[in-house]
Structure 1
Amino acid sequence: MKKIDIACIIDDDPIFVFGTKKIMKLANFCNSFMVFHNGEEALDKLKPIIESNGTALPDVILLDLNMPIMDGWEFLDEFIKIPSQKEITIYIVTSSIDPHDIERAKDYDKISNYLIKPISSEKLHQIVSSGS
């Protein structure tokens, strides 16, 4: 299995973050993690790295939709405005099974897939094998 360098988790649920990091380690999914607890925190940290063409950008972002301060949709709307040299693959990983959310995700070219929590090692293998 190909290994991802940096995986980014944007989610306010500490249990989900803990479990996902554990599964990623067991699956040998990535070399390192970035974890942000809401969209605003993620933007504040990622935007300067992108604008400076930094090398510490994630290859994959696992994005929750329902978070305080700035939710996943608000994050996406701001994130896609930032020009980047690097292609970052974004997966929505949420507990929302709302058909409206699933359809809305299709409006974003940057979203590779819409995954329902919990994440599994099988889903991680699919992410890596899909060319992320």
Structure 2
Amino acid sequence: MNNQPAHVLIVDDDVVNNLITSQRLKEISVTKIGIAKNGKEAIEYLDNCSGCYPDLVLLDLNMPVMNGFEVLEHYCRSNHNGKTYFAIVSSSNAEEDMHKTTQYTDVIDYVLKPLNREKIQRLIAVLPEREAGKKSA
């Protein structure tokens, strides 16, 4: 993988946050950006990837329909497991949530909103380091 991911999925029910995050990703030359407004849409997106999985999923925890933990559980049980990485992006700094996310091997970080350019670049910077252990698509 080069130093920038080509494909990022934003999963958040906050439309304004999605717009801002999309803009930040474009500023650092991310070429494909997907958006899901809830966990159910995220699962549908991942199920329909057909081998072109996102390099990174920016996942909110508190959403309607299906929350972030439900997305992670579904992902772990699916045949997609190991094909993408997740960064939890939350407005909550609850230790319980932070600890719970460490149980998922494909979660690379837990960051607080709002996401600025530096936070996004830091998340992306760790992807090549983890790529060696990533399962093939």
TM-score, scaled relative to structure 2: 0.85
Change (3 A) 1:109 1:25: same
Change (3 A) 1:15 1:111: same
1:67 aligned onto 2:68: no
Instruction: State which of 84, 90, 93 in structure 2 corresponds to 1:97.
Output: 93
For the residues of structure 1 that align with 2:94 and 2:81, how far apart are their CA atoms?
A: 33
CA RMSD of aligned residues (A): 1.6
Instruction: State which of 115, 120, 136 in structure 2 corresponds to 1:119.
Output: 115
* Aligned amino acid, residue 35 of structure 2: V
Structure 1 unaligned spans of 5+: none
Instruction: State which of 88, 105, 109 in structure 1 corresponds to 2:105.
Output: 109
Change (3 A) 1:107 1:98: same
Return structure 1 stretches of 4+ with deviation > 2 angstroms: 84-87
Q: Deviations over 1:10-64 (max 9, x none)?
A: 0000010000011111122x10111000011111231143xxxx24321100000
For the residues of structure 2 that align with 1:86 and 1:108, how far apart are their CA atoms?
A: 10
User: Share of identical aligned residues, percent?
Assistant: 28
* Aligned amino acid, residue 81 of structure 1: R
The count of corresponding residues between Structure 1 and Structure 2 is 127
For the residues of structure 2 that align with 1:113 and 1:87, how far apart are their CA atoms?
A: 16
For the residues of structure 2 that align with 1:119 and 1:36, how far apart are their CA atoms?
A: 17
| Contact kept? 1:3, 1:31, Cα under 8 Å | no
2:77 is paired with a residue whose SS is coil
